[in-house]
Amino acid sequence: MHVSFIFTLTALVGIGSAKSGCGKAIPDEFPSPGSSKTLSLPNSDRSYRIHIPSTYQHDTKAPVYFSFCGAGKDGHEQEGLSQFSNPAFNPDGIAVYPETDNGVWLSNQYAHTSHPNDLDFTDELLTHLEESLCVDQSRIYANGKSNGGELTAVIACNATVGSRFAAFSVVSGAWHETGDVPGVGACEPAKRDEGYPFLIFHGTVDQTAPIEGDVEDEIVPIIDVLHNWAERNGCDKDQKWARNVTIHEDPLVKRAGWDCDGKTNIVEFYREGDNGHCWPCTHSNDDYATMGRDKCPMGHYVFNATEIIFEFYSRYQLNSQFQLEM
């Protein structure tokens, strides 16, 4: 039996205006505006890297952008790879790079699936940031690369944690078939008017997480992932995209978009011809430099994924209310 309740966003997550960081000086342990620093989460054995923009004002609410690293990587590497701290892409948002516990995120077969719980870590970290800094709770976003991208989907599927994020993006996601949500069971996001905007990038020659999937390694084809998120946003099961356009000829880059429940391009996909398991960037980055031409054959790419991600995020923010189905 399902009973629907209406909650305000702040009531659900337990953050009231009295606990807001707005109007307060930046805590001493945090980096100064325009810089980054790796910190420990209080009352926890977990850590994270954070960048506060040079434009930050203690009385002006700032958006927050989480970016989760791939397996075996860390927050410092993810900061350089994603460029979420670069004011050319993100002039006024707080960028956060959570650290893994043992090199992998929940959903990876080598992750600690019981303790610590990456969902709890994300939830507690976000609460800590909201209490410490002037955060716009309607503009909080999640992104991930590879295993971090898979965690981004796990977060979106969680009715409590996922409800705090306005939109999601994944680069070269490693999507495994271990239940509706890898490692955590069924995908049951909270019902809300905004839906769950999802942006996915994937290369056609990705050897780590093949775009067509891999039965032996239980990797899900990207088209199935896209259909699942379109359906969760109100599309019919396996509904075809509303548009699929060529945005670059050589290499061939296609952009597909799904319109679901009156929401245009609520799910978007960039199919990167001739790109591997690499963060698309018009100049060489850590992926292209460390994985080599066998996995990143072009050495760079024809667009910057980060620029597209921030444009996508700019379309979405949370309303003050949504439904939680129980």
Task: Tell me whether residue 97 is in a domain.
Answer: yes
- Flag whether pLDDT at 74 surpasses 60: yes
| CA–CA gap between residue 36 and residue 95 (Å, rounded) | 9
| CA–CA gap between residue 190 and residue 324 (Å, rounded) | 5
- 215-222 LR contacts (CB < 8 Å, sep 24+): 217/176, 218/176, 218/177, 218/178, 219/174, 219/175, 219/176, 219/177, 220/175, 220/176, 220/177, 222/173, 222/175, 222/269
Record the pTM. Answer: 0.91
Residue 15 pLDDT grade (very low, low, confident, very high; cuts 50, 70, 90): very low
Task: Tell me whether residue 176 is in a domain.
Answer: yes
The percent of residues in the chain predicted with pLDDT above 90, rounded, is 78
Predicted local distance difference test score (pLDDT) of residue 113: 59
Predicted local distance difference test score (pLDDT) of residue 115: 46
Question: Domain range for residue 87?
Answer: 20-272+303-325
Task: Tell me whether residue 282 is in a domain.
Answer: no
Residue-averaged pLDDT of the chain: 88
The CATH number given to whatever domain includes residue 139 is 3.40.50.1820
Task: Tell me whether residue 177 is in a domain.
Answer: yes
**What total of structural domains would you count in the chain?**
1
Task: Tell me whether residue 296 is in a domain.
Answer: no
pLDDT per residue as tens digits for the range 139-193? 999 999 999 999 999 999 999 999 999 999 999 998 876 545 545 667 899 999 9
- Flag whether pLDDT at 10 surpasses 70: no
Task: Tell me whether residue 6 is in a domain.
Answer: no
Task: Tell me whether residue 317 is in a domain.
Answer: yes
Residue 17 pLDDT grade (very low, low, confident, very high; cuts 50, 70, 90): very low
pLDDT per residue as tens digits for the range 250-297? 999 999 999 999 999 999 999 999 999 999 999 999 999 998 888 899
Task: Tell me whether residue 54 is in a domain.
Answer: yes
Residues present in the chain in total: 326
Predicted local distance difference test score (pLDDT) of residue 7: 28
